[in-house]
Amino acid sequence: MENQVKHQTKEEYVADFLREGIISGQFPRGSKLKQAQIAEMIGTSITPVREAIKLLEAEGFILGTSHRGAIVAPFDINATEEITDLRITLECKLGVKALSRLTSQDIEELRSLQDQIEAAAARNDKEAVRTINYRFHELIYIAAELPQTLRFVRALWARYPFDLINRLDNRIDRASQEHRDMLNAVISRDETAFLQALRSHIRSAWDEFKASYTE
pLDDT given for residue 84 in this prediction: 95
Which pLDDT value is given to residue 25? Answer: 79
Nearest to 165 by CA among 62, 80, 86: 80
Spell out the CATH class of 77-214: mainly alpha
- CA dist 102 and 92 (Å) reads 15
Looking at 71-103, list the stretches that DSSP marks H as alpha helix, in order from N- to C-terminal side: 80-99
Check: CB of residue 129 under 8 Å from CB of residue 175: yes
The fold adopted by the segment(s) 10-72 is: Arc Repressor Mutant, subunit A (1.10.10)
Q: At what angle do helices 147-157 and 10-24 cross, to 10 degrees?
A: 40
CA-CA-CA-CA torsion for 164, 210, 75, 49, nearest 10 degrees? Answer: 50
Domain extents in the chain = 10-72, 77-214
Q: What is the dihedral of CA 63, 130, 190, 177, to 10 degrees?
A: -150
Digit-by-digit pLDDT tens for the chain (215 residues) are 444 445 578 898 999 899 888 887 788 888 899 889 999 999 999 999 999 999 999 888 898 755 567 898 887 788 899 999 999 999 999 999 999 999 999 999 999 999 999 999 999 998 899 889 999 999 999 999 999 999 999 989 988 888 888 888 889 999 999 999 999 999 999 999 999 999 999 999 999 988 887 66
Residue 176 is predicted with a pLDDT of 94
Q: Name every residue whose Cβ is closer than 8 Å to that of residue 199 and which is 6 or more positions away in sequence.
A: 88, 92
